[in-house]
Amino acid sequence: MNNNYLENIKNAIKFSHELGLQNLQLTPAAKQYTEKKEMDKLLEIVNGELFDFIEQKFAIYPYWGNMCLDLNAHAFMYLHALGYNVDMVFGNINVNNSPDDEFDVTKESLMYEYNNKITTGIQNVHAWVNIGGDIILDFAIMPRLIKNYSYPRKLGDVICSTAHILEKHYKLIYKPLLVGSDFFTITNTYNPLEKASNLKVIMQSQFR
């Protein structure tokens, strides 16, 4: 467990409450889903049915490295519909101990976007999905790493692991600032939580 990351997630949730975000879904739980059977099942879902779900919607786009918001909004929808303890996270990421982080984002810039309901232009922020305590799911970062940092393709298409492993083996440091899909809803054109509820109904009807 990466205590720094978990503490940052808790602080990001506090900031979300201060900002007035609605419908926060994540309850940070140390070691949740990290037992081998749980993690194996999660990875099976991520690399199987969830990847198929994402690919079906975004296969027309040749490059996913600049699509973290939409890709991970859909990943959140799917896992939330399955009942996982998840939420969207917004912040920054540092790659390979670079002197600069990937995005020019601050609490103040996120606050400005949210309070002013900015829905146009480019959002200079990284988004990912937090699962349980410190499991990070990111559908957008690997294409970016391959293109900009020459990471080997054999590492796979999707990042899904604990913050500790990502920092140690991938040289990725995720820096959460804000938690909650409500930020996405206010600054984009659809509501991931609402779509997750609709998706859950569809899933349940398929297994009756």
The rounded distance, in Å, linking the Cα atoms of 192 and 187 is: 12
Burial class (CB in 10 A: 0-12, 13-18, 19+), 146: middle
Is 29 a residue whose pLDDT tops 70?
Answer: yes
pLDDT reported for residue 49: 97
Please state, rounded to an integer, the average pLDDT across all residues of the chain: 96
pLDDT of residue 177: 98
pLDDT of residue 206: 79
What confidence score (pLDDT) does residue 208 get?
52
- Predicted pLDDT of residue 207: 64
Q: pLDDT at residue 11 above 80? A: yes
The span from the CA of 105 to the CA of 12, in Å, is: 14
Q: In the structure encoding, which two tokens stand for residue 93, read together?
A: 């990421």
Cα–Cα distance for residue pair 36/154, rounded to 1 Å: 22
- Residues in the chain, total: 208
- Reply yes or no on whether the pLDDT at 3 is more than 70: no
Based on C-alpha coordinates, what's the Rg of the chain?
16
Cβ atoms 127, 112 nearer than 8 A: no
Render pLDDT for 132-176 as a digit per residue (tens, 0 to 9).
999 999 999 999 999 999 999 999 999 999 999 999 999 999 999
pLDDT computed for residue 205 by the predictor = 86
Could you tell me the pTM of the whole model? 0.96
- pLDDT digits over 70-100, tens only? 999 999 999 999 999 999 999 999 999 999 9
The yes-or-no verdict on residue 19 having pLDDT over 70 is yes
Q: What is the predicted pLDDT for the residue at 30?
A: 87
Q: CA dihedral defined by 28, 100, 19, 76, rounded to 10 degrees?
A: -50
Non-local CB neighbours of 142 within 8 Å, separated by 6+ positions: 65, 151, 155, 156, 157, 158, 159
